[in-house]
Amino acid sequence: MKRLLSTSAAAILAATALQAEPVAQGAPNTDYQPASPDQTRAEAMQSGVTLKVEPVVEGLAHPWAVELLPDGSALITERPGRLKLYKDGAVTEISGLPEVSADGQGGLLDVALAPDFESSRTIFLSYAEPREGGNGTAVARATLAEDGASLGDVQVIFQQQPTYDGDKHFGSRIVPNDDGTLFVTLGERSDVPIRDTAQEMSHHLGKLVRISANGEVPADNPFVGQDGVMPEIYASGLRNVQAAALDADGALWTIEHGPKGGDELNHVEAGKNYGWPVISYGVNYDGSPVNEGITAQDGMEQPVYYWDPVIAPSGADFYEGELFGDWQGDLLVGAMRPPALVRLHLEGGRVTGEERLDPGIGRIRDVKVASDGTIWVVTDEDRGGLYRLSPEG
Domains along the chain with CATH numbers: 1-61+301-393 (no CATH), 64-239 (2.120.10.30)
pLDDT at 18: 39
What whole-number distance in Å separates Cα of residue 181 and Cα of residue 172? 16
pLDDT at 324: 96
For the question of residue 345 being annotated catalytic, the response is no
Taking the chain (393 residues) in consecutive chunks of 10 residues, what is each chunk's mean pLDDT? 38 46 95 96 96 98 98 98 97 98 98 97 98 98 98 98 98 95 98 96 98 98 98 98 98 98 98 98 98 98 98 98 95 98 97 97 98 98 97 89
How are strands ordered across the β-sheet holding 233-235? 174-176, 181-185, 208-212, 233-235
The whole model's pTM is what?
0.94
Residue type, 173: R
Q: Which of 332, 294, 289, 334 is nearest to 314 (CA)?
A: 334
- Check: CB of residue 236 under 8 Å from CB of residue 207: yes
Q: Which of 62, 169, 257, 345 is catalytic?
A: 169
pLDDT at 17: 42
3-state DSSP call for residue 120? helix
Residues 6+ apart with CB under 8 A from 133: 163, 165
pLDDT at 309: 98
Neighbours of 84 (CB within 10 A): 19
3-state DSSP call for residue 15? helix
